[in-house]
Copies of this chain bind each other. A is one copy, B any other.
Amino acid sequence: MLCANDMYRDSGFQPLTSNNFDSLLPKPDDWAVTKSSIYDVAALAGVSIATVSRTLNQPHRVSEATRARVMEAVQKLDYTPDFEAAARARHHNDRIAVLAPLNTYPGFTQRLRGISLVFEELQTELIIFQIDAQKLRNEQHSKYIESLATSGRYDGVIVMSLPIDAQELTRIAETHFPMVLIETSDSRFPTLKVDNKEGARLAVAHLLEKNYKNIGFIGFNALASYSTNGSKAREQGYIDTLLAAGRSVNPNHILISDYSIEDTYLKVKLMLSIPDRPDALFCASDINALGVLKAANELGLDIPKDLAVVGFDDIDIADYLGLTTVRQPLEGSGKEAAMLMDKLIKDPATIKPSQVLLPLELIVRTSS
C-alpha cells in the first residue's frame, strides 16, 4: 500500500498514514471511519501537503490542473481541514474567548448576544467558557485566565462579571494581551461598567421629585457565582442622593434580601407592616421590585399612591408590569465590549486602562 507518509515523514522504521497508524493503536473506536488529513489528500492527488493547503487557502496560486486534482482528492476523501491546527500554524486565530458565569441573572444572555453579534460580522469565532467565581477561587484554576491569555489560541479574552485575582491580573497586564472586563474594575484594563451610584441617583431623584417622603431601599446579597452585584454601590448612591437632598436616612427603611422574588416578598411584607413604613422603595434590581409588588399587592396597597416602586435593570417583564426602573444597556454593553476588543486586537498599542461608563436611563412607568 502506498502511504501518504512515505513521502513526507521520516520515520525510517515504518511508514504510517493516519490510517494504518490508527489501526496500530488499541483504539476503542477502531470501527470508526477515520478522518483524512492533509497528508492523505496530498498522497491521493500526488502533490505535497503545501500544495493542498494552498489550493484550499489561496487557489489562485495553484495551477488549474493541480487544483482540479487536489479538489477531486478532497471530495473523494471527504476531507475537512482541522481549523484548530490551522489556526495554530497560522499564529492567528480569529477567535476570542469569553469567560462568564452561567446563571440566570438577567442580562447574561443579552450581553453574550451583543458580543456574538459583533464578532459574527467580523468572522471571529467566539468560545464561551463557563466559569464562576467559586471555580476561580479554586487553587487549581488560579491561573485559568492567564493560561487562556498566554495560550496563543485566542486573540483576546472578555471577562464578564468575574472577580479576578490581583496577581493574575498583574501578570496578564504584563503580557499586554487584549483583555476587556465587564462589570469588574481594574485600573490596568479596559473596563465596561455602569455607574451604579448614578443609576441610584436617577431613581431616587425621581422619587423625590414625585414628592415621596419616606424613600426606602431594597438591596440583594451577592450571588455566589458572581463578583460584584452592584447592590452595594446602588445603596450608596441611594444614601448619597437622599443626604444631598437634605433628607435623612432611616435604617429601618433599608433592607437586604436574597436575589429572589420570594425572599424579597417575605421580608418586605414585614417592612411594610411597621407603623412608620416607607411610601416609596428603590430596589437594587427588578427581581426585588417584583417581590415588593407582590407584597404591596397582598397588603392591599395601591401602587403608586400608597407605595411607589422603582427597580433596576429593566428586565423584559418590567414593561409588562408597568414597573418604573433604571435601564442599563445589556446587548449594548456586549456590543461595546466586542468592538473595543476588536480595536485592541487590531492595534494592541491602544490597550489603555479606559474605564467606559455605560449610559443609564430611567424608564418611568406606572409604578411611580
- Answer whether residue A147 sits at the interface, using C-beta atoms and an 8 A cutoff: yes
Q: Hey, which chain B residues are within 8 Å of A176, CB to CB?
A: 29, 31-33
Distance between Cα atoms of A362 and B29 in the complex (Å): 43
Known: A33-B175, A109-B103, A348-B28. A130 touches B126 (CB 8 A): yes
| A81 to B, closest residue via Cβ | B147
Distance between Cα atoms of A241 and B125 in the complex (Å): 45
Q: Are B150 and A35 in contact, with the CB atoms below 8 A?
A: yes
- Answer whether residue A151 sits at the interface, using C-beta atoms and an 8 A cutoff: yes
* Chain A contact residue count (CB 8 A cutoff): 50
Q: Hey, which chain B residues are within 8 Å of A135, CB to CB?
A: 120
Distance between Cα atoms of A33 and B316 in the complex (Å): 45
Q: Are A320 and B102 in contact, with the CB atoms below 8 A?
A: no
Q: Hey, which chain B residues are within 8 Å of A177, CB to CB?
A: 29, 32
Q: Are A80 and B150 in contact, with the CB atoms below 8 A?
A: yes
| A111 to B, closest residue via Cβ | B102
| A349 to B, closest residue via Cβ | B28
Distance between Cα atoms of A129 and B174 in the complex (Å): 29
Distance between Cα atoms of A135 and B124 in the complex (Å): 13
Which residue of the partner chain, among B33, B127, B130, B316, contacts A112 with CB atoms under 8 Å? B130
Q: Hey, which chain B residues are within 8 Å of A316, CB to CB?
A: 104, 261
- Answer whether residue A133 sits at the interface, using C-beta atoms and an 8 A cutoff: no
Distance between Cα atoms of A31 and B108 in the complex (Å): 35
- Answer whether residue A294 sits at the interface, using C-beta atoms and an 8 A cutoff: yes
- Which residues A291-310 have CB closer than 8 A to chain B? 294
- Answer whether residue A317 sits at the interface, using C-beta atoms and an 8 A cutoff: yes
Distance between Cα atoms of A32 and B171 in the complex (Å): 11
**Smallest CB–CB gap between A51 and chain B, Å?**
21
A89-124 near B? 1/0 per residue, CB < 8 Å:
000000000000011100011101100100010000
- Answer whether residue A209 sits at the interface, using C-beta atoms and an 8 A cutoff: no
A15-47 near B? 1/0 per residue, CB < 8 Å:
000000000000011011101000000000000
Distance between Cα atoms of A135 and B108 in the complex (Å): 22
- Answer whether residue A136 sits at the interface, using C-beta atoms and an 8 A cutoff: no
Q: Hey, which chain B residues are within 8 Å of A102, CB to CB?
A: 109, 112-113, 116
**Smallest CB–CB gap between A170 and chain B, Å?**
11
Q: Hey, which chain B residues are within 8 Å of A233, CB to CB?
A: none
Distance between Cα atoms of A6 and B61 in the complex (Å): 36
